[in-house]
Amino acid sequence: MTEETKTGTPQPAPALSVVGPGDGETIVLGTTRMRVLEDGSHTGHRLAIAESVLAPHTAGPPQHRHAGHDEGFYVLAGTIRFTVGDEDHDATAGTLVVVPPGTPHTFANPTDHPAVMLSTFTPDLYVQYFRDLQDVLTAGRPLTAEANIDAMSRYATVPATDAVVPATGAAESTTDAA
């Protein structure tokens, strides 16, 4: 039952969100540049969407698990290596990777070319994780594995300590985010 049905009072329609090229919030984390296209404020916090550009040879976050949200990755350009447990999956443009809660994962760009991906977070809470990491860098502190794991812990995310470290070394990077 909608609020309008309950009260008989017309309710405003949800606001349309349009984010043009070059618009959106920019978050820079080491060699990764993220553009937040939807932070959840227009979706009732059900969905957030971000575009990320990973420079060549960008290692990703420590392999980790999310307890409270799904993550989706759609590769727009280049190749991104997703490591799930001890399995590597090289995803090229046009590939969709969906990571449900509890699945150990990380990603990296092991190639000589930039890679671009569109990420979804349902619900939206994980966008704040990236903002927290940017705050660490803005404060002049290094983005260590410990700082990354500390930020993850605030968003129902833990390192996948039983997962095998990927050959790319992505689990040891401290310059990029999940």
Cα-based distances in Å from 120 to 2, 57, 99, 125 = 27, 23, 10, 11
- Token pair 């399995």 is at which residue? 87
DSSP SS3 for 6: helix
Let me know: does 18 contact 140? Beta carbons within 8 Å. no
Let me know: does 150 contact 94? Beta carbons within 8 Å. no
Token pair recorded at residue 127: 């966008």
- pTM listed for this prediction: 0.80
Q: pLDDT averaged over consecutive 10-residue blocks of the chain (178 residues)?
A: 56 76 92 95 92 95 90 97 94 96 94 98 91 94 87 90 47 40
